[in-house]
Amino acid sequence: MADRVETLKTSIATVSIAGDFREKLAAIARAGYTGIEIFEQDFIAFDGTPVDVGWLVGDYGLEIMLFQPFRDFEGLPEPYRSRAFDRAERKFDLMNSMGCDLVLVCSNIAAAALGGIDRAADDFAELGERAKKRGIRIGFEALAWGRHINDHRDAWEVVRRADHSHVGLILDSFHTLSRSIDPQTIRAIPGDKIFFVQLADAPKIDMDLFYWSRHFRNMPGEGDLPVVEFMRAVAATGYDGPLSLEIFNDQFRGGSPVEIARDGHRSLIGLMDDVRRSEPDIRLPVPDIPPRAHCHGVEFIEFTTSEEEAADLAAFLAVMGFTHAGNHVSKQVAHWRQNDINILINTEESGFAHSAYQAHGTSVCDIALRVDDASRTVERARMLGAETVTTPAGEGELSIPAIRGVGDGMMRFIGIRSDLAALWEIDFVLVEEAGDCTGVGLRRVDHLAQTMKYEEMLTWTLFYTSILEAAKVPMVDVVDPGGLVRSRAIQNDNGDLRVTLNGAENQNTLAGHFIDRTYGASVQHIAFACDDIFTTAEALAARGFQVLAMSANYYDDLGARFGLEEAFLARMQALNILYDEDERGRYFQFYSRRRSGEVFFEFVQRLDGYDGYGAANAPFRISAQKRDLTSSPFAGVDGGVDAG
Ligand code: MG
Ligand code: MG
């Protein structure tokens, strides 16, 4: 269970996650929230009285912080006006029974609404008086598509003129930011007149506001809206009430309640940590957590496999120029190395790696990243709700801090200035004849490609960007002959951290096939960087490495697209090297024909600051791989396609 951060009151609207009411409450409580916003629909669908709802929520250790929505109230002519007050009284009955004292009234969208800021203020003054008698407070929210009130500044003016102790403002980051209203205008509102704050982010999409809001909202940090700026302005007012997530998202409705609730809590803590860092003069009820860690690259990648398959993987690594450099002092783990790249082959028959082998087959079970301070990195991750893992280390061996990552894999952290940096001397016995391990010129891990179901992409985007110093690159669609794959890179400023997240929507894509075959392992390919792609490709060919063959048409098209010289094209074609350019530089890449388990390898060279991943080439590479799968000499040996 995540730590409950006592001082910060966190909440989530029950509409934000899937499940029946009890499932939702269990997931919300487990993630560490203080309370919930209850949606009327959840109550209506619930089989019990309002009093039962109140008890049930209390049983989970949660408070009902807000009841919503109460719609189409202000500015109505008679007889609608009287009816609206009658409706409100009935909601007050319900709220009294449930034990909830704040209701959200969203701005009127009805055609009958007359407008007029004083008319609205008068309505709220009267509603406030009635609510006060019932021990209830009224919060007014400007919907971005409200008929007359669609801006928090106007809603605040209504509240100001209503001038009633039981009438206040509700701010919602989506309604303000989706209309590009400057969040700085919030700083002029008195904090004690803000009764509640709802937070949501969203990807930048140009579409109808209502549709955008109802289907594409996501957790703060998952989208593109300036939610940190919004929250900095809210914090400046002195507001110290609950921060609540009100998220309408199609992916979340189909996702795991536990994971979505956890992502939400992570997003709130991460957001407030960002606000705290950018507003050092404002006292905020947030814990002091270590900053995001800068990643200095990949220290090692660990494969789990069986004794029999290990020989095959080792032979594959040898062909790619890796050297067997050492063996673990107490475990069945072999260390293979080439320059700055370390690959481990784990064939233990118990423990985490073995469980991962049983679940996913030969696959990457562990990724170790270099950071400045490993324990502070894990501490940050833990406070953001990540699952920390302690693995038993033998006597004299190093215990490497770890958290649970994508696909249940392990993510470890190695402090570059700690004794963990001496891992290879302490935990491994060197193979005498290992030599200099320069191989075919593969220098370091350029990127890791992790594949997941499409609905998990936001989870893992938030995982990386909240724990590490990393930005998310805009999503690209990769057309696989079997369907669409969404791809998004997570990377840091100097390119020491590069992970691509690939979301598969169906099993007919290569990515979907991977998930199917591995039962949800994560790493689908590993890209190694070299300094001279032609030299490396030739050296690999000389060692018997089989490259993925590209079609002649690809090179015809390439020549036409970039105006490349014939001789240069011919040289690339001879070695099956793919090419791309961005506004800065050039990119060369080629792929292994074969896979180990379901993992394949990529070889890249970046020139002049090229910052992409050759997305334009992906459809052709995928087609080549699919063509190859049906005729692979390795089918059945290394897990090629042998099942329909
Ligand atoms: Mg709202
Ligand atoms: Mg790649």
Angle between helices 21-31 and 50-59 (to 10 degrees): 30
Predicted TM-score (pTM) of the model is: 0.92
Q: Closest ligand to 173 CA?
A: 1
Which residues on neighbouring strands pair with residue 67, listed in sequence order? 38, 103
Convert the pLDDT of each residue in 360-413 to its tens digit.
999 999 999 999 999 999 999 999 999 999 877 777 788 889 999 988 899 999
Q: Which residues lie at CB < 5 A from ion ligand 1?
A: 172, 198, 246
Convert the pLDDT of each residue in 526-537 to its tens digit.
999 999 999 999
Residue identified by tokens 């790619």 is 320
Q: Given this model, what pLDDT does residue 408 score?
A: 84
Convert the pLDDT of each residue in 463-522 to its tens digit.
999 999 999 998 888 888 888 889 999 999 999 999 999 998 888 888 888 888 888 889
Q: Closest ligand to 174 CA?
A: 1
Is residue 414 a contact partner of residue 427, using CB atoms and an 8 Å limit?
no
- How far are the Cα atoms of 222, 267, 439, 532 from residue 584, in angstroms, in the given order? 27, 33, 30, 18
pLDDT higher than 60, residue 44:
yes
Q: In the predicted model, what is the mean pLDDT of the chain? A: 92
What distance in angstroms lies between residue 527's CA and the mean position of ligand 2's atoms? 6
What distance in angstroms lies between residue 199's CA and the mean position of ligand 1's atoms? 8
What distance in angstroms lies between residue 205's CA and the mean position of ligand 2's atoms? 26
What distance in angstroms lies between residue 497's CA and the mean position of ligand 1's atoms? 36
pLDDT higher than 60, residue 109:
yes
Distance CA 213, CA 261 (A): 19
The terminus-to-terminus CA distance of the chain in angstroms comes to 41
pLDDT higher than 60, residue 637:
no
pLDDT higher than 80, residue 421:
no
Q: Closest ligand to 614 CA?
A: 2
Is residue 271 a contact partner of residue 330, using CB atoms and an 8 Å limit?
no
Distance CA 591, CA 453 (A): 23
DSSP letters for 267-283: HHHHHHHHHHHH-TTS-
- Per DSSP, the three-state class of 522 is coil
Number of C-beta neighbours around residue 495 at 10 A: 15
Q: What share of the chain is helix, strand, coil (3-state, %, to 5)?
A: 40, 25, 35
Is residue 166 a contact partner of residue 224, using CB atoms and an 8 Å limit?
no
* pLDDT (mean) for 98-118: 97
Q: Closest ligand to 587 CA?
A: 2
User: Can you give the length of the chain in residues?
Assistant: 644
Take residue 427 and report the two structure tokens written for it.
Answer: 């935990």
Convert the pLDDT of each residue in 252-305 to its tens digit.
888 889 999 999 999 999 999 999 999 999 988 888 899 999 999 999 999 999
Q: Closest ligand to 578 CA?
A: 2
Q: Which residues lie at CB < 5 A from ion ligand 2?
A: 527, 602, 613
What distance in angstroms lies between residue 201's CA and the mean position of ligand 1's atoms? 12
Q: What is the 3-state secondary structure (H, E, C) of 548-599?
A: CCCCHHHHHHHHHHHCCCHHHHHHHHHHCCEEEECCCCEEEEEEECCCECCE
- How far are the Cα atoms of 200, 245, 289, 326, 393 from residue 414, in angstroms, in the given order? 34, 34, 19, 19, 15
- Per DSSP, the three-state class of 90 is helix
Convert the pLDDT of each residue in 177-199 to its tens digit.
999 999 999 999 999 999 999 99
Provide the 8-state DSSP code for 188: G
pLDDT higher than 60, residue 635:
no
